[in-house]
Structure formats: C-alpha cells, structure tokens
Structure 1
Amino acid sequence: MSDFSLRRQARLRREYLYRKGIEERHATVKQKKNKIKDAIDGEKEIPTALKQKALGYMASGEWDDPGPKLAAELGGEAAGGSTDIDDEYRWAGVEDPKIVITTSRDPSSKLKQFAKEIKLLFPNSQRINRGNYESKQLMEACRSNDVTDFIVLHETRGQPDGLVVSHLPNGPTAYFTLADVVMRHDIPKIGTMSEQFPHLIFHNFKSKVGLRTQNILKYLFPVPKEDSRRIVTFINWDDWILFRQHTYKKIDGGKDHELSEIGPRFSMKLYKIIMGTIDQENAADTEFVLRPYMNTAKKRRFLSDDDPW
C-alpha cells in the first residue's frame, strides 16, 4: 500500500472518530435531558445525579424543538441513541454485505469444518486460509476489495471457542467467546442447508450494549425476500447469545408450520467491543469490556437490563 493510501486511510479514520466522539457527547446530554423532562412531566423527583445540572439543561430550551428528537427516533435510536450508525453501516440494506472468514493459524480439522459451516451461514461470504499472513495484511487486502466484514474463528485444543467480527473500514470490532458448539453433522435429523437469505429473530436485546450487539450481528446478513423460509435466531439468555438456524414448511394445507433445524448450533458471549478494526486493537478505544467480577449489589446483565456504560 502506498504512502498516500496510508495517509488517506489514517485521515478518514481520524475524521470518523471525531464525528463519533461529538455524536456520543450529544447523545449523552440528550439522554440526561430526557430523564429530567420525563421526571418533570410525570411529577416525579429529578434523579439526584442530575439535580445540579437540571437548571442549566432547562435553560437551553432544546426540548421545545422536535427536530433533533424526531431525527433520533427515525435514525440513531436503532443504534442505541447515537447516529454513528450512519458512518458505520451507511449502506446496510442498500448493498449486500461482503464477508471474509478465516481462522487462527494452524487450525485443526474441526475448526476448518466449523469455518466451512460458518461460511454457509452468511450469504455472500468467502473463506480464506490464514497461512502466515498478519492481521494487518489481511485487513489491507479486505479494504482494497470492498469487504464489509472480517470474521476470525479461534480454538483451544481443537475446540472452537472464539469469534471476532470486525466491520470495515473503521470498525466496530466485537469479540465473542464460543461454547457448546455442535456441528451440522452432529445434529440428529438435520435438515437440508438452505441458501436463501434468512429472516432474523433477536430476542431480549434491550440495553444499549444489547442494541449495539444486535446491530453488529444483524448487518452481517442481507435483506431477505418475503418468501424466504430460512430463519436465524439469536436469543439472549443471561448474557449468553444462543444461536439456532431453521427452515420451515407449511403443513395441513398451510394452516400450520413445521420447523427443521439445519445447524450449526452454538452459544456466544460478548466480552469486548472496540472502536476500530481488528488490526487496530491496541490503538483503538474500548467501547465496551466485560468485567464479570465487578462489585455490584446485584448481578448485572449487559445485553438486556439497564445501560451498564
């Protein structure tokens, strides 16, 4: 890659991070103002942490202008209240994602088989052998070929136990732990693998982290056709994301439906999100990190309960 391309890439990333920082600050202020406004409208006590700033927020009078509120409802609310999704996923739903899947170095036969099944899971994806390539080399090649997402699968002693999803060109990158991996051929009465674009089901992704995770996973799939009979399900259960994949067919003259699991089957747990790509892990800001031993009064659930950020 030429020096000009490297400088241009660095400049675009600085501009992106600057816009994202401004949007996040505005979103934080907006959230606090809305909490104060809701307390006043409901004749409730203003939260203690906001009492000192309430008069200053009230003086700004921004609640009387419906424009920012409507823009957030129509755009950024889907991303958890921020409009950075306009930069990160601006072509989602317009152009199909283009995904590259690879593994850690020297993969076992089981990890290679799992990578093949993950390739079948994501439409418009291709699997490449890792070889001796560094992450930086792979990311440069992906950027030059308009790849939208880069997925890396990891293992421990032959058992798949990690999945990294890096969105291009500027991130985010999500790191997941894998558990309870069941290959397609290990599922009894397995159905035939469908190549249709799947309908997606997300259950219990309610917090800001949950919505962020939902977007990262959702935009790996293209928009399905209405008559598609393939279903991909992500269910949040106690911060574990249970993945299942089915097809269905109509029975009894169309009055009922029969599901057939087509696999694979696994569980995922998010443990980190960074504001950059996988080759920028040491330089990019950390957007979220799981701290399982945090000293809290009750167990905190990151994907479904109140915002932990």
Structure 2
Amino acid sequence: MTKAKEALLPSMIKNKAKRSEVHAKLKHQKKLEKKKKAKAREAAEKKALELGEDLPPKSIPRTIENTRELDETVCKPDDDELFAGVDADEFSGILKQECIPKVLITTSRFNSTRGPAFISDLLSIIPNSHYHKRGTYDLKKIVEYAKKKDFTSIMVIHTNRREPDAMLIITLPDGPTAHFKLSNLVLHKDLKNHGNPTSHKPELVLNNFTTHLGHRIGRLIQSLFPQDPNFKGRRVVTFHNQRDFIFFRHHRYIFETREDKQSEPKGKQKKDKVVTTPKEKVIARLQECGPRFTLKLISLQHGTFDTRGGEYEWAHKPEMDTSRRRFFL
C-alpha cells in the first residue's frame, strides 16, 4: 500500500486541497535534490582543483537542437561537390565582388502605415537599396523594370491588417525567389534605448545555416549586402537560424578597456592576507539599433516570381510538421 501511495501522481488525486499539498511536497523534494546535486558537484570541483586533476565533465542538457533528427543534407567541411557548385550559382557574381548589389524595395498593393516605416528601417540597413512605390503595377512588370535598371534583387514587403506579415526576395536576373513569413516585428523607433545606425557598410553574421537548403538561403541573404564591410562603423547585421526560425538583429558595438581586480597571494603570512592587483581586460558593449523581426521560409522557387507556372526547389507543407526535432535549414 505504501508503494502505491508513493507512486500516486498529483493529477490522479481528485480532492483539490490534497492534490495541492502533494504537489507542493513533490516540488519541495525536487528542490532539495537539486541543491544536493549542486553541492556535490561543487565539492567534486573543489577537490579536483586541490589535487590538480581535471574538472569533472559538465552535464549537457537535452535540447531540441542537440537532439534533432539525422539529416543527410547537412553540409560537411569536406563536401567538394557543394563548394564546386557554389562558384557557378546565381549569387557567385555578387559574392566574388564582380558586381555591386543593388536592391529595389517595394510593398504589396494594399499598404499600411507600418509597411513604409519598416521599409525606411530596411533602407538604413541595406546599402545601395532604393524604395519604389508599388501603385497598381504587377510584380512581373516590376521584375522587368528592375532588370533594365541593373538591380540585383527585389524585396517585397507584404502587409495584412496593417501589419507586415511576409517578405519576398527575388534574385535578378534569373532567380531564385524566396518567400518568408514575417513575425514579431519591432520597429527601430519602438526599441527602448535604441542606437542610431551610421551610413557605414555593415558586417554580416550568418549563424547555423547547416543544410544544403540552409546554405542556399544563407547565400541569398548574403547577396543583399556588399562584401566589403566598413569595420570602422562597428555595425553588425545578424541572421541567426534556430529551429528553422531566422532571427534578425542589428547592433552597434564598441570595445572598452576596464580594470579587473584579481586576488593574488603575496607570500605566506599568518592571517593569509590577500593583496589585490588591478588588471586590464577588454570587453565588448552592444547597443541594438533595430528593427527586430523573425523570418520563416515558406518556399524557394526556381527563377523569378511566378505563382502559376513556377517550379519550386523547396516548399513547406503541413505534412512536414510530423516531428518537433526535424529541421530543414
């Protein structure tokens, strides 16, 4: 009977007061066990330091990222076939600095107040970018116009219910076209204690684009920016992929030298007095400039935008969401 009572879960108890009491006891017991394990770990580390041995290995928590499903399309450093194809893809001309990226930014036909505000933020981030009012023009006509004016990419910001909710990036002259869902938008003016970006060309950081598809999306994003950043401007634009969500951040940084007081023993004394000597250390400080938003890839299409006869390299389908640990980028 006692074992049956111990195995009884709080959710199995119908009485609310008794259920709350059992839950509180289990929570307190888990807290005590956690403290006990932490003290044992600290004692083991202290003993290892005294004996001059290696510290015990730290336990790595299980996360969705480190337990992702095995993917055969993950790029490897020795993948010669991948890097051989890179030299001849649609983005190689810009990434080899054979031509300067020139981006045309426009909106959907039905626009809102936050659409132009978001575009003005993008104009301050992407060098050599130009805004053209959409009006009633069809997107295919805009593509033809952009080709004649030597634009290398078109970025279309789609709005729904006065809120930007999608982004279309068309690489010119022959594609591909990437369609992203846009969410969690925070404009530059809405960020607390935001910094004001300068006109310097930013540094670009792309994180965790590991698969063949992710590598291709990373190169598409990279083709929007010049490949010769001005490091004196100390501007960083980051696209961080995590669980197929691409998080965008825009920062300014500065390096500062500060005094770091470290304790160093000065000989053996009776009361083991410790003399502190100031040491200099270099730290990096960040200030976010904004905007802040999240992208999720919906489709990657061959060629320029074509909803009827276009062929897709990759498209997201509901049946793909069978596992939380399956990622495509």
In the superposition, the TM-score normalised over structure 2's length comes to 0.65
Give the direction of change, closer, same or farther, for the CA distance of 1:83–1:247 in structure 2 (3 Å limit). closer
Superposition pairs for residues 141-180 of structure 1, below 5 Å? 141-180=145-184
Alignment gaps of 5+ in structure 1: 1-70, 304-309
CA distance in 2, matches of 1:86, 1:178: 26
- Per the TM alignment, residue 268 of structure 1 is displaced from its structure 2 partner at its CA by 0.3
- Per the TM alignment, residue 257 of structure 1 is displaced from its structure 2 partner at its CA by 1.9
| Partner residue in 1 for 2:316 | 290
CA distance in 1, matches of 2:174, 2:91: 7
> The residue matched to 1:201 in structure 2 has which SS?
strand
| Partner residue in 2 for 1:17 | none
> The residue matched to 1:216 in structure 2 has which SS?
helix
Of 222, 230, 233, the residue aligned with 2:235 is 230
Alignment gaps of 5+ in structure 2: 1-77, 259-280
Report the AA paired with residue 111 of structure 1: G
Equivalent pair of 1:149/1:220 in contact (CA under 8 Å): yes
Give the direction of change, closer, same or farther, for the CA distance of 1:294–1:122 in structure 2 (3 Å limit). same
- Per the TM alignment, residue 103 of structure 1 is displaced from its structure 2 partner at its CA by 0.2
Report the AA paired with residue 289 of structure 1: A
CA distance in 2, matches of 1:217, 1:295: 25
Cα root mean square deviation, aligned: 2.3
Report the AA paired with residue 242 of structure 2: W
Of 114, 119, 136, the residue aligned with 1:115 is 119
Of 232, 236, 244, the residue aligned with 1:239 is 244
| Partner residue in 2 for 1:195 | 199
| Partner residue in 2 for 1:10 | none
> The residue matched to 1:185 in structure 2 has which SS?
helix
Equivalent pair of 1:178/1:266 in contact (CA under 8 Å): yes
Equivalent pair of 1:72/1:82 in contact (CA under 8 Å): no
In the superposition, the TM-score normalised over structure 1's length comes to 0.69
Give the direction of change, closer, same or farther, for the CA distance of 1:162–1:298 in structure 2 (3 Å limit). closer
Of 99, 102, 111, the residue aligned with 1:98 is 102
- Per the TM alignment, residue 86 of structure 1 is displaced from its structure 2 partner at its CA by 3.7
CA distance in 1, matches of 2:325, 2:254: 41
- Per the TM alignment, residue 160 of structure 1 is displaced from its structure 2 partner at its CA by 0.8
- Per the TM alignment, residue 297 of structure 1 is displaced from its structure 2 partner at its CA by 6.2
CA distance in 2, matches of 1:291, 1:252: 51
Report the AA paired with residue 291 of structure 1: K
CA distance in 2, matches of 1:179, 1:100: 22
Equivalent pair of 1:207/1:302 in contact (CA under 8 Å): yes
Give the direction of change, closer, same or farther, for the CA distance of 1:230–1:83 in structure 2 (3 Å limit). closer
- Per the TM alignment, residue 255 of structure 1 is displaced from its structure 2 partner at its CA by 2.0
Q: Which runs of 4+ in 1 moved over 6 A?
A: none
- Per the TM alignment, residue 147 of structure 1 is displaced from its structure 2 partner at its CA by 0.5
- Per the TM alignment, residue 225 of structure 1 is displaced from its structure 2 partner at its CA by 3.1
CA distance in 2, matches of 1:98, 1:255: 37
State the number of aligned residues. Answer: 229
CA distance in 2, matches of 1:163, 1:252: 41
- Per the TM alignment, residue 294 of structure 1 is displaced from its structure 2 partner at its CA by 2.6
2:267 paired with 1:264: no
Render the CA deviation track for 1:40-91: whole Å, top value 9, x for unaligned. xxxxxxxxxxxxxxxxxxxxxxxxxxxxxxx974xx635xx63474444324
Equivalent pair of 2:159/2:166 in contact (CA under 8 Å): yes
> The residue matched to 1:90 in structure 2 has which SS?
helix
Give the direction of change, closer, same or farther, for the CA distance of 1:140–1:191 in structure 2 (3 Å limit). same
Give the direction of change, closer, same or farther, for the CA distance of 1:87–1:193 in structure 2 (3 Å limit). closer
> The residue matched to 1:284 in structure 2 has which SS?
coil
Which is helix-richer, 1 or 2? 1
- Per the TM alignment, residue 155 of structure 1 is displaced from its structure 2 partner at its CA by 1.2
CA distance in 1, matches of 2:94, 2:201: 17
Superposition pairs for residues 1-309 of structure 1, below 5 Å? 73=80, 77-78=82-83, 82-83=85-86, 85-92=88-95, 93-223=97-227, 224-252=229-257, 255-278=282-305, 280-294=306-320, 296=322, 299-303=325-329
Equivalent pair of 1:88/1:171 in contact (CA under 8 Å): no
Larger Rg over CA atoms: 2
Report the AA paired with residue 112 of structure 1: P
